[in-house]
A and B are shown apart, each in its own frame.
Chain A
Amino acid sequence: MFEETPQASQSSSLAGSSSGRVRMLTSALFDSLVLQGKGPIAVEFMSYGCAHCRAIEPILQRVAEMVKGKEKIFQVNVAVEPGLAESFEIQGTPTFVMFLNGQEAGRAEGAPPNVSSVLTAVTQPFE
């Protein structure tokens, strides 16, 4: 299930910058990297001002390292991309939306800030 595709690997380097392994996406790249992306992809809809997102950030970086090569993880800042948040009916942050070959496969709202919860949230829809 968790196969890294050359396309996903190549295109992730085009995404906007963020700290660590998780790349920040803008709406301009969302289509090509997520909706047209191959394989399992998790997108965290977040905001820098959200304390829960702050708590989950270092954990997400660790989880991204753990699933490296199996799954891509991206972030979308809802303050910068309100249109994307609205089109995916995001009610709050952090919300993880999981995509498999461009189709939504599941979502998780407000995962507790620990590795096992976040890992489960971003991998369970693909099992």
Chain B
Amino acid sequence: MIPSPTSPKQNKPVLLFDNECGVCRRIAAWVKKSAQLKSEEPSLIVRPIGDDPEALRALNPALDIWEAYATIHLVMPDGSMKRGGEAVAEVLRKLPPTRWLARSFSISIFGFRPFQALLNVGYFILADVRPLFGCESCGTPSLWVRSIKWLINLPKLVFGRQPRPSVTPHFTAISKAAHPK
């Protein structure tokens, strides 16, 4: 069982990540490493979402465990939450190597933040293409992702390689990596 985030009062932002998704695990590992690059004290806390809905609600009463797995969440020290592209921007602001880049997300032109908007789109695309990178827990890929996957697999189908056996739709195989005994 994955330890759950249990400390309701943190003096650093808490980044919650999906430990069942390989892409998310790799990104979380990079964030964790980057957060501690220039000092011994990390600038943010990186934790798996875990399996305890009550522990998440202790961080923020509005934090729903299903929602946490669906979209990246960053719980701020004051208890507020940032989600999706806004959470990514805040994480980049907290990391020493990306602080310079993150300034661009605050640039506002007549109330519109173009770089933040780009980041929001980028996050949306990354969240959608995770199944292409072997995230079995991420569900059925959306139609445009399935089209890309089909194009990638086309040469294999044309040149006679046996396609992989199909799995039951709407079904996620239990990952031994995500649930070590």
A: which residues have CB within 8 A of B? Answer: 17-19, 47-57, 77-80, 82, 85, 90-95, 109-113
Asked whether A52 and B172 contact (CB < 8 A) given A47-B137, A57-B66, A79-B1, the answer is yes
- Report how far A57 CA is from B181 CA in the complex, Å: 26
Number of B interface residues in the complex (CB < 8 A): 29
Q: In the complex, which residues of chain A have a beta carbon less than 8 angstroms from the beta carbon of B18?
A: 49
Q: Could you tell me which B residues sit within 8 Å of A by CB distance?
A: 1-2, 18-21, 49, 51, 53-54, 65-66, 69-70, 137-140, 167-174, 178-179, 181
Residues of B within 8 A of A49 (CB): 18-21, 49, 69, 137, 178
Residue of B nearest to A58 (CB): B66
Instruction: Give complex CA distance A82, B19 in Å.
Output: 16
**Can you report 9 A-B residue pairs in the complex whose CB atoms are below 8 A from each other?**
A18-B53, A47-B179, A49-B178, A52-B139, A53-B172, A54-B66, A78-B174, A91-B174, A92-B171
In the complex, A48 Cα to B20 Cα: how many Å?
9
Q: B179 to chain A: which residues have CB within 8 Å?
A: 47, 78-79, 82
Output the nearest chain B residue to A110 by Cβ-Cβ distance. B171
In the complex, what distance in Å separates the CA atom of A18 from the CA atom of B174?
21
Check if B69 sits within 8 Å of A48, measured CB to CB: yes
- Nearest B-chain residue to A78, judged by Cβ: B174
With CB as the reference atom, state the residue of chain B lying closest to A45.
B174
Which 6 A-B pairs give the minimum distances between C-beta atoms? A51-B139, A110-B171, A49-B20, A110-B168, A110-B170, A92-B173
The CB with the most chain A CB atoms within 10 A, among B167, B168, B169, B173, is that of: B168
- Give Cα A40 to B93, complex, Å: 54
Complex Cα–Cα for A77 and B169 (A) = 20
